[in-house]
Amino acid sequence: MTSREYIEQAMRTHHGEYTFEGSEEVPPQLEHALWGITSESGEMADLIKKAKIHGKTLDTVELIGEAGDMMWYFALFCDALDISFEDLWDKNIRKLQARFPEGYDNQEMLEKTNRSGEREELEK
Ligand SMILES: [Mg+2]
């Protein structure tokens, strides 16, 4: 299955009717996607919490199911912005290559953070 096929199949289950107004910049579909990505992330965190805090066995079947739910919302996000998963992946890799041309380096990351002066601003 290609990403376009996935998005098409996923959007078969999108009702597409909203009870709230969007705007040209933030259509309801985009807002729906972002709320959904956030809530599915919370469901995944809850499974980890149950394992780490309550000593339950990590339910990887549920975890993968929640990741799939999150993918549905990413499909909605991509559909709202008319972008493919491939374009999203490509943009992300190009951003990471620009940020870390030699690969991730923790020391370099710390130095970049220090140079930004953000911490000093927060401590004022
Ligand atoms: Mg879910």
Q: pLDDT in tens for each of the 124 residues of the chain?
A: 999 999 999 999 998 899 888 888 889 999 999 999 999 999 999 999 999 999 999 999 999 999 999 999 999 999 999 999 999 999 999 988 888 888 888 887 777 766 666 677 778 8
How close is the Cα of 97 to the center of ligand 1, in Å?
A: 32
pLDDT given at position 122 = 72
> Are 116 and 88 members of one domain?
yes
Domain residue limits at 114? 84-124
Residues 69 and 54 in one domain: yes
- Shared-domain flag, residues 47 and 13: yes
Q: How far is the CA of 66 from the centre of ligand 1 (A)?
A: 5
CA 14 to centroid of ligand 1, rounded, Å: 15
**110 and 99 within one domain:** yes
Q: Report pLDDT for 108.
A: 78
Long-range residue pairs from 79-88, CB within 8 A, at least 24 positions apart, any chain = 79/7, 79/11, 79/14, 79/29, 80/27, 80/29, 80/30, 80/33, 81/30, 84/3, 84/4, 84/7, 85/3, 85/6, 85/7, 86/3
Q: What is the pLDDT of residue 117?
A: 67
Cβ proximity of 67 and 44 under 8 Å? yes
* Judgement on whether residues 24 and 34 belong to the same structural domain of the protein: yes
**Are 38 and 2 part of one and the same domain?**
yes
Question: Is there a single domain that holds both residue 65 and residue 92?
Answer: no
Distance from Cα 46 to the centre of ligand 1, integer Å? 11
Residues 55 and 104 in one domain: no
Ligand 1 midpoint to CA 85 (Å): 20
Q: What is the pLDDT of residue 114?
A: 60
Ligand 1 center–CA 105 separation, angstroms: 34
Query: How many domains is the chain partitioned into structurally?
Result: 2
Between the CA of 31 and the centroid of ligand 1 the distance, in Å, is 17
Question: Measured in angstroms, how far is the CA atom of residue 49 from the centroid of ligand 1?
Answer: 15
Domain shared by 109 and 74, yes or no: no
Cβ-contact 75, 69 below 8 angstroms: no
Same domain for 70 and 97? no
Same domain, 89 and 77: no
DSSP tag of 101: T
